[in-house]
Structure 1
Amino acid sequence: MSIKKAYQPTPSGGQPLTRVDLINSHPNNQQKKLNKSRAILVGFGLAGVSLVSAAVGAFLAVALSTASPLQQIQLTNEEQKIFSQEETVTDKNLNLPVLSRPVNILVLGIKVISSDLDERGIEYDKQDVGYLHLVNSFDGLSDSMLLLRFDPQQEKLFVLSIPRDTRVDLEGHGIGKINHANQYGGPALAAATASDLLGGINIDRYVRVNVQGVEKLIDALGGVTVNVPKDMKYNDFSQHLYIDLKKGVQHLDGDKAMQFLRYRYDEYGDISRVQRQQMLMRSAVEQTLKPATIVKIPKILSVIQSHLDTNLTVRELMALSNFASKTKRANVQMMMLPGDFNDGSESVSYWLPNEEAIDRLMTKHFNLPVNANNNYASVAHDAQLLNPNLKISVQDTIGNQEALQSALDTLRTAGYNRVSASKNWQDPLVTTKIIAQSGDDEAAAEVRSILGVGEIVVESTGVLQSDITVEVGRDWVRRRRRLSQADLAPGLENNFDN
């Protein structure tokens, strides 16, 4: 199967990519010889990236002999042009390599079952188990897709989740879902398609990890503690997929974590699953960026190698590890591709990209320039700090309707005209959470300044289609006790302590 067209990269955040013909057929997966050393540091949690301490990264320099030790396929010369050839790291004296510029990495979570390969006539290690079993392969649909931006200038890590049902133009295959790109043309076509979707952003590197690898990785990390938002139960006997989780905060092992991630049988389907992925990802990052994780590295690496495919080099792995070890929790910002469900007029369910919102998001967080060649450059950006048209959803987490109503009143009094109460969040919070659902952290900061309390997080775990979601915690109740009704007017609340 050949890839007819793709995009030639430019430095991250540079000019939009141009099309070039790919004349070579996409190769079959060829297992490259892997160095069996147990001292590799790889950080690819959840959908692919679990970063740990830079100190352990020093072993990489002496433990591995190949430039990209975890790359399991051979890209053609033209496919390699999809990814940036620009240097990403630099060495400072005798210190570990560090990132020399922002780096964009496309992460693909791959799920391949035996029937997928049978239908396409691809050879694999068949198991006579009587059901459709998972195969340790990368030659299938991407179950999840993330674009990560490691930005050393801002000292931030940006995570953009791209729903698997996103409607795109797949080169040589017409209109379809973006999760087919990897199956049709491997990481090169997946990267080219994602770049085109996101206004021509450069993709520097790729990472592919299959679901077996994610499960084993979470087990090696000792599990992940998350808040399961509701009871989840689903059975697919043909695949031996059994999901049975109870509502509430709990510690999940690899099998339970995969149940949490793969469940999509609710009102919003794959979009709800994207939100759960971000919830688990944040928990995993917070757990892995701890000194106690270092002692688990040999076990982690012994199970991850055969389930991971990436063109990251040894020095880049070291630099990413160094960067991650210094990243603050608040500087990990997670977003979801702006869009909406199609109206049902098509026979296939799609997530329809919102081009104007994508432009704003990519310009703000991924440094995509606004120029005449940018597909979305015609969008006018409002420089005014206060945006009264923000769609703000407010949720009660503490069972206090009076506190909820006072938060609504405060925001409306401040001038916001699209404020509404949403379904209560069941996890009681001590600190109010202000979620920048669409990635606008400046707008979230403005909401916080008006409320006078709260923690700002940039992620897509809030109310779908809101710009800002406010989950009211106990700190708001304490603050209300200090304020008289007259003090709720905008501009006076900052005279009070938080």
Structure 2
Amino acid sequence: MTIQRTSAEENQSANDSKASKRSIPNSKSGRWLWFWVGMSGIAMVSATAGALLAVSLTSTPLQQAQLSPQEEAVFDGDRISGSGLRFSQLTRPVNILLMGMSVLPPDIENPPADAKNLGYLPQVNSFDGLADVMLLIKFDPETKKMVMLSIPRDTRTEIEGHGVKKINHANLEGGPALTAKTVSNLLNGVAIDRYVRINVLGVAKLIDALGGVTVYVPKDMKYQDDSQHLYINLKAGKQHLNGDQALQLLRYRHDELGDIGRIQRQQMVLRALMDQSLNPATVAQMPKVLDVVKEYIDTNLTVEELVALVGFGVRTNRSNMQMLMVPGRFSEKNEFDASYWLPNKNAIAKLMTKHYGVESAQAQEENNVEPGNLRIAIQDSTGGDRSSLRPLIKSLEKAGYRNVYVAKAWGEPLDTTHIVAQQGDGNSAELVRQLLGFGEVRVESTGNLGSDISIQVGKDWVQQKEILEKSTQP
């Protein structure tokens, strides 16, 4: 669906979007229980399903912000869930725009009194600031897949009525409706059915309520910003992080990859949360979790719709949860007045056709990409030297993969090799896995940025090395 409005509607929408910034509380008991699903998105859906389905239903949208009729019309309001006893089933593919809000006092008209005269700019519990995290999540009952597309906050794009800016400004200028329109325009007119906004203050509280998260910190991370009281100090290695530490990992962006590296770490944390949420103990924590996060979330999803999303998530195999990123490149020094992520329109067209069903004349998708056209990056996690990778490289070259290179080592020691479809081409990644005879395919964006396929070599490679060496001998 391409989102279009008349000029009169656009003017009215721009005026109404200012009004939408005035948040209203929602105090009806029981409703906020359902914020849990929208907030956690993918990570906790399996563990909470039973508890959620046991709660009485209400069809009232769970919103903390009011939208004008013009703003509501931006979202596809058609029914997404069944009726009667089939209320917990999705009836069609659904696209949810998830936004993580980082809000400072200057972002809002009336900052709370306790945010004044502190000598620094604190985060405030509002939804009117910059959308520093954006995910377009597709729940597809036809393919039984969930696709998560990360949209870099620095993406350079047109924001209607406000010119060309970084995409995270769309929420600041016009709330969730303008953000949805901007995202849709960027992504070839993809339909956006609903939105969820979560304030950054709620993330640490959520993870604490879940007992923390075990994840591999890829390197030492140290950063200090006194103006915002932001202090990051993490050591490399696998460790159990509390909420504040996990938030440090999620917010860190001061390395060579900037916001793109942060997106990769966000995807790693999502994977870890999905793994750890498949635990009966998580369900027992639901009252505490829900009580903690209720005030930090804003969504136009109804309870029935959330139940349907949960029901679908419970039945979705984690191997069918795919994580992508808007393809593009970093702007070069002095290319613009600020640093941007410059989206690749042709690559976006192909990605949206393949994973979101958006038809486009630009997308001339090939079912099977020729091996010689693929960029294969090898990232070792075993600690060996480059010579130990020669049999692997020879095996790939023998099969026609001519563009193979060794990239920066993967920091986390892996038992099983990850064959990462960096650009979303899971079919090509699966062909590589079949050729090698080991490893697991992951459709996500945690690999080498310049690759089509990244092979993150694990310990299973050591076991296969001798076999490969014999097979590549003349």
Give the TM-score category using the shorter length. Answer: over 0.9
CA deviations over 1:153-174 (Å, ceiling 9, x no partner): 1111100000000000011110
Cα distance between partner residues in 1 of 2:397 and 2:371: 12
Determine what percentage of the aligned residue pairs are the same residue. Answer: 47
Cα distance between partner residues in 2 of 1:488 and 1:218: 51
Equivalent residue, structure 2, for 1:56: 51
Does the residue aligned with 2:168 lie in a helix, a strand or coil?
A: helix
Normalised by the size of structure 1, how large is the TM-score? 0.88
CA deviation after TM superposition for structure 1 residue 482, in Å: 3.2
Normalised by the size of structure 2, how large is the TM-score? 0.93
Q: Does 1:108 align with 2:113?
A: no
Please show how residues 147-226 of structure 1 align to structure 2 within 5 Å.
Answer: 147-226=136-215
CA deviation after TM superposition for structure 1 residue 339, in Å: 0.2
2:53 alignment partner AA: A
Query: Unaligned stretches of 5+ in structure 2?
Result: none
Compare the two structures and name the one with the higher helix fraction: 2
1:293 alignment partner AA: T
- CA contact 2:32–2:294 (8 Å) conserved in 1: no
Does the residue aligned with 2:33 lie in a helix, a strand or coil?
A: coil
Please show how residues 425-440 of structure 1 align to structure 2 within 5 Å.
Answer: 425-440=410-425
CA deviation after TM superposition for structure 1 residue 388, in Å: 1.5
Does the residue aligned with 1:190 lie in a helix, a strand or coil?
A: helix
1:17 alignment partner AA: I
2:49 alignment partner AA: A
Equivalent residue, structure 1, for 2:69: 77
- CA contact 1:219–1:253 (8 Å) conserved in 2: yes
Q: Does 1:355 align with 2:345?
A: yes
- CA contact 1:47–1:146 (8 Å) conserved in 2: no
Equivalent residue, structure 1, for 2:229: 240
What do you get for the CA RMSD once the two structures are aligned?
A: 2.0
Equivalent residue, structure 2, for 1:272: 261
1:459 to 411, 425, 444: 444
CA deviation after TM superposition for structure 1 residue 291, in Å: 2.3
Cα distance between partner residues in 2 of 1:236 and 1:439: 35
- CA contact 2:350–2:364 (8 Å) conserved in 1: no
Cα distance between partner residues in 2 of 1:430 and 1:58: 37
Q: Does 1:97 align with 2:88?
A: yes
CA deviation after TM superposition for structure 1 residue 237, in Å: 1.1
Does the residue aligned with 1:435 lie in a helix, a strand or coil?
A: strand
CA deviation after TM superposition for structure 1 residue 101, in Å: 0.7
1:357 alignment partner AA: A
- CA contact 1:60–1:314 (8 Å) conserved in 2: no
CA deviation after TM superposition for structure 1 residue 235, in Å: 0.8
Cα distance between partner residues in 1 of 2:427 and 2:437: 15
With 349-358 and 383-392 compared, the bigger mean Cα shift is at 383-392
Cα distance between partner residues in 1 of 2:356 and 2:86: 28
1:73 alignment partner AA: A
CA deviations over 1:224-253 (Å, ceiling 9, x no partner): 111101000011112111100000001111
- CA contact 1:397–1:429 (8 Å) conserved in 2: yes
CA deviation after TM superposition for structure 1 residue 431, in Å: 1.2
CA deviation after TM superposition for structure 1 residue 412, in Å: 1.1
Equivalent residue, structure 2, for 1:446: 431
- CA contact 1:47–1:108 (8 Å) conserved in 2: no
CA deviations over 1:327-355 (Å, ceiling 9, x no partner): 21211100110000112221111100001
2:107 alignment partner AA: D
Cα distance between partner residues in 2 of 1:202 and 1:38: 26
Kindly tell me: are residues 45 and 418 of structure 1, through their superposed partners in 2, closer, same or farther at Cα, counting changes over 3 Å? Answer: farther
Kindly tell me: are residues 319 and 340 of structure 1, through their superposed partners in 2, closer, same or farther at Cα, counting changes over 3 Å? Answer: same
Equivalent residue, structure 2, for 1:5: none
CA deviation after TM superposition for structure 1 residue 59, in Å: 3.3
Does the residue aligned with 2:285 lie in a helix, a strand or coil?
A: helix
CA deviations over 1:278-322 (Å, ceiling 9, x no partner): 111111122224322111111111011110000000001111111
Kindly tell me: are residues 243 and 352 of structure 1, through their superposed partners in 2, closer, same or farther at Cα, counting changes over 3 Å? Answer: same
- CA contact 1:131–1:239 (8 Å) conserved in 2: yes
Equivalent residue, structure 2, for 1:317: 306
2:153 alignment partner AA: R
Cα distance between partner residues in 1 of 2:181 and 2:42: 19
Equivalent residue, structure 1, for 2:390: 405
Kindly tell me: are residues 270 and 162 of structure 1, through their superposed partners in 2, closer, same or farther at Cα, counting changes over 3 Å? Answer: same
CA deviation after TM superposition for structure 1 residue 258, in Å: 0.7
Cα distance between partner residues in 1 of 2:39 and 2:403: 37
With 396-405 and 71-80 compared, the bigger mean Cα shift is at 396-405
Cα distance between partner residues in 2 of 1:109 and 1:426: 27
